[in-house]
Each structure stands twice: as C-alpha cells, then as structure tokens.
Structure 1
C-alpha cells in the first residue's frame, strides 16, 4: 500500500506527539476541595475487591488512551489517501477492454494463416471483456464482437481451410465448408486503375474500430499477417497511416515473412505505435523439404511470437493522449475497517468505565 500524500502522516504524527506532550507537561491548577471525612480509608483500599476494581479501572483507562491514539492514527493515514498502483487484470479489462482486429492479407488457406486463426480460436475461449474481429483482403469478415462461442466456431472453421483444401476426396460436408469459407475470406474486388497495397489494407483494418480517428477507453490493436514489401503507390502514405493509428490509439503489430530491409515503412509504423514488427521463417523459406518435426518447431515459434504480442497490449492512454504508466486507485478499505474496529473497542471500554 502506498500513500498519495505521505507528508500528511509526518505532519499528523508531529501534531499528535505535541498534543500528548502538552497533556503530560502542561501544569494543572489544583482546585481547593473540601473532602468528606471517611473512617478506615487505609483498610478500605487494602480490600481485594477494591484492588480489583481499581486495577480494572486503570486497565480500561489505558485501553481508552491506546484506542484514542490508534483512532487518530487511522484518521491520519486515511487522510493521507492510501492507494494501490497494481490493479488486477479483471479491473483493467473492465475499465479498458481490449479491441483486437486480425488483419489477414495472406492466403487464408495457407499454413501460417491456419496457425493464426487456430491460435485466436483458442484465445477466444478464455476472453473476458475483449472484442475480436477479422478483416481479410477486401472485406470485414468478422466485425468486432464479444460473441466468444461464435468466434471459436468461425475461426476454427477458417483454420481448417488448409486441411480441407489438401484433401484429395473431401466429403460433401467438407466441400461445402471449404466453399463457404473460401467465399467469405477470399472475396476480392477488381479495379482498373488501382492495386491493393499493404498500407491501404492496414487502413481498412483500422477502420473496423468504432469511432476511428478519435481516442477511446478501449485498448486497440491490429495484428497484421501478410507481405510487408510495398507493391504500388498506396492511398495512405506511411505518415498518414501512422497519424491515423496514433489519433485512434491503435497499436500496429506485424507478422510477415518479408525481411526488415524489404518491409518499407511498415516496421517504422509498428515501432511508432508501440507494436512489434516480427519477421518469421516459414516452411517455404527453408531450403529443400521441411520435415514434420521442423514444421512443428516453426509453428511453435510462430505461436511464441503471438504470445509475445498478446503479452504486450497497448499502453493505457488518457483521453487527452497522456500515457498512464500506472493506475493509482484509492484503497482506504483496510485502514477504515481497522478504525471502525477500534471505535467499537473504544465504545465498549467507555461503557465499562461508566459501569
């Protein structure tokens, strides 16, 4: 537990010590009193009952003094505002839920796409407040949603595209699933004077967030999988794409088999938005054939890259664009509970003294 105003405790302790010293050292004027004469006072005070009553009285007075100081200490600490800088994952997810848009520009039936889709099909099973969407080459396949059973079913179906396409004699059911998935993921738009570029594909993925162009309480991120090398002149330049991501609070993560030198400005966009640019090795990049064991190693490496991206979500950003390194939350519960318990003890002690 930390204190937001630590100086209040110092001032309070100094004031409390000064009050205690003043109470003990301040000279008290003795008022002349006429005492009623009482016979055999010495014998009365030596009686065991009197000794027990007087001892109980002194104990209760001591308890009252101790509880009074303790209550004042709790009041001082509560005034200093105890805070906690560590919010639980559930609290952070409720206050700043994650919005993740998968931007799949690779062949949806490729092995790497299958690994990506199956990975997030498994992730959806453990989601709490996150939203997930999927954008393919030319269409928004899955808008952002929290329908986790739907995400598991659809992403799992898309992840099976590689297996279904490789089958020599698929069943009618598998053929129908393959045809439907290819239609949903593989739709393209032909232009006479335009060719889809990486920057424009990323911009289309960013447009899938509600209120794009403005900050949001949600932590937004795009996970792009596909080529990184520029193929033509884009509509969105690197600077425009970076500004769009920054103004929207979007973290751009890139998974590509293109090298860093051939990525153009995509690596700079990922770095500028707090994301990761990961150039990974695929089976097609390996010389000769790729044994099954090596393919498993490549899949494990790709999943570890995805784990790395998921373990570094976007930073928390205030509405004015200020990055919040940590969240300070008031946590006076413990101090106030202790103070309440002490007050109850104080009241019981006071009642005992009066009795």
Structure 2
C-alpha cells in the first residue's frame, strides 16, 4: 500500500501535537472554594454521574480519533501499485492477391478463409492489396475487425463475379500480372520500423512478426519495375516473410528459371513457405499451416498500474475484502471503501449501539438527548461516506497510444476555395491539421472518414500513419459536376457505427473525434443538429477543428 499524499500523515500528527500542547498550556479557570465538598463527591448519585461523564468523554475521544484517522487516511489517498506486462498478439498479415483472370477463384477462396479468421482475431492486424498491372491497397493494416470482415466480404463477392468497381485501378499500366511490382507494393504496406525507432518501440512495431500471403501463379506478362527476386530482397531487408500460394504450378524438370521454381526460391529466401494446390478447397489447410508458422506472441513493455486500493495497516494484502462493488455492469452506481468494509460496518454498528444506549439509558437531561442524536447521526454519515459511493465511469489520464482517433474530413466542392492563408485551398488546411494531429498523437489508432454527398471510410482504425498520410495526400475535393449538395452532418451515422464497433471490440477505450471542414451546408436538407451529435452514454471525448477562412 502506498500513500499518494503521504505528507498528510505527518501534517496531521503535527497539528494534533500542537493542539495537545495548547490544551496543556491553557490557563486554568477560576475555581470557587466549596465547603464540605467531600460529602457531595461521596454521594452514590455523584459517583454514578461522574462515571457516566468519564465514559462519555472516553467514547467521544475514541470516536474523534476514528474520525480523524479516517479523514487523514482518505486525504492521503492510499493506493496499490502493480506492474503488468500484458501478452500481445503480434501477427501482421497482408493479403497480396494477383487478380488477373487465372487467379480469381483462388483469390475468392483465400479471402473467404481470412474473412472467417478475422472474426476470431485478437491483437493481429490484417491488410489487403490487389494487383494486376498496377497495385491498389484496399485497406491498410488494421485491427478494426468489423471493417476488415466487411471489406473482405465485398472483395469475395467481387472475385466470385469477376466484374465490378472492385478491380478499378489495377489496369493502369501496360502488361498483366506484374508480380514483382505487386509484391513490392505489399511489402511497402508495412509501417517502416527503421524510420522512427522510438515510435516503433512504443507501439511494438519492431517486435511484430510480419507476413505476406502472396497468391499468384507467377505468369508474368509485361515489364515490371521490380523483378520478383528484387521484391523478395526488399522483403528480407524489412524482415517480412512471404508465403506464396500457387494454384498453377506447371513446372517440369529442375530448371530454376521456371515460374514455380522462381516463386518457391523467393518465398523460401524470406523464411516463408511455398504451397501449391490442386483446387481452391485446399486453401483452408494451407492458411492453417501459415498460421502455425507465425503463431507467436511477445510481452509488451511493463505498465505500472496505480489503483485506489487502501487497506488497514494490519490487514494482509493477500485477500482484500474492500474491492469496489459495481452495479449495471460497471456503468452505474459503485462503492469503493477507503478501508475494509467489515471495519466500517462494525464501526457503524458500534456507534449506533452506543448512541441508542446513551439516549435510552444514559439518564441525560432532555436538552442533551437531541445533541446526542445529532452527534451520532454525524458520525454514522461520516462512516458511510468512507464507503466512497459514486458513479462509475469517471475520466482519467490516458496515454496517446491507448486512443482511437476518428478524423472527419470535408471533401465537398467548397473545400476547393483558395482562401486558406490567402492562396491555399481549405482542403490543404485540413491536410495540415491532420498531419499535426498524427504527429501529436503518435501511437494512437487512426480512422479517416471523408464526406461530401455521402460519407466513406477511407482508412479503418490503424496505427499505420504512413497509410494515413498517403490517404490524405490523395484526397481531392469533389468534382462540381458530381456535387449534389453536401451536409455537415452526413458523416454522423457512419461515425456512430464506427465508434460503436470500436467500443464493442475494446470496451472503455477512449476516443477522440476531429472534424475538419468549412461548415458550409449546401444540401436541401437542413443539418440535423451538431455534426458530432452522439449518444451521451458512449463516454467518448471529442475535439473539433476546422481550417480558417479567408483573412485568418
């Protein structure tokens, strides 16, 4: 047991000593001599009254000492310090899918397996990149599993159908199945642990195992920037294992230049594995093997936890009986006694018993009965206050690494106005704000939501600030011909859903919401309250920021 304000104890002792000295040095009152006082003091009635007076003084002294000790103990705030070193699941997986025509069935099976696995993940992060002649990152590494499952479900539907906007952006260059470029893009999807060693150590990036699950038949058609071997060397440099799944290994003989042999050599050079399959039904077994090779965990940095957990000095800490009691699942009323509750219960019973006896059988004058009842009630109320009743859910100081940060960025046409700092666009101001937020809250999880005619999650919750910077750098205001009027509250429903999902995944985790917009409402529908109107019971904390207008 520790005392947060330990100096309260010696201060109270000094105050008590001074009070005692002042009492001893006080001038005696003027006594008047009384003749034959011994006859009076020898009377039985006098002796009984004297004993009653002494008992009352002794009881008052004991009760005062209890009250003073309790008040000093509560003011000193006893705490209990423990050190916890939590076990952290440290697996990062990027699905790297060749979406050329020969791979869609295998890709769909692989995505389906990871969609089911993501529902059971706890601490792992998953990302997804697709490529053909060019690469597209569907979502960066994230532990927002609800969002990942949703995106994987949409990807599976698109891969099963083989058409749709899902493949947009993968045919921006000449050629097809540029495997080296695709693998290099997947490798670059991992946060760079060498760029900021301090930040990496704080967030555990340097200790996380990294894997790329590459699904391709390695049939190249075109001139890539990276060869397969160069992309494999890049993965080795970043300590990333590549697990290759090849549904079309038609190698014959021992020629090392055959597609399957080259893919096998590249994967094994990174410490990963190479798997062939005869049908998409074999994918679950292969993914299980990949998981077994990466099923490791590490101990996070020790965390010092200080809790209000006082104890009576003579009580063993092995089995504390003064734990807090909660109602309504920890969100309603609670009691956190400052001393073990049996002691408080015994003290209340003793005070009530003594007060009752003194009132009924103490033979006090009637004018003293009311004072006795009042003093007894005051002591009982003080002892009840020592139970520390209150409402659960009080705020506390939280490190930046324990935050979820939701950033809402207005991308409506009005954000292209060039009145930020004289000549820059309002969106440029929002980008600067977001960059500052990411720098100040290093280690937090960030989610980027943009809105104009409708709201879109551009990046799910992720600690990958590089992905956040990339997403912000590519933001453009909505083209005027597509604008149909924007509402400053259009992101409200999506924001509520993402907040609810985050709280369900990690209950009690604090969240910050930043709103970067110019506040112009051009929709025919009036805004529905504040842009950040959320249920009061969520317990989140919010902050609002907006780029200045002209002349700022």
Question: So what's the TM-score if we normalise by structure 1?
Answer: 0.49
In proportion to residue count, which structure has more strand?
Answer: 2
TM-score scaled by length of structure 2:
0.32
Q: Identify, as 1 or 2, the structure richer in helix.
A: 1
Which one has more relative contact order, counting CA pairs under 8 Å at least 6 apart?
1
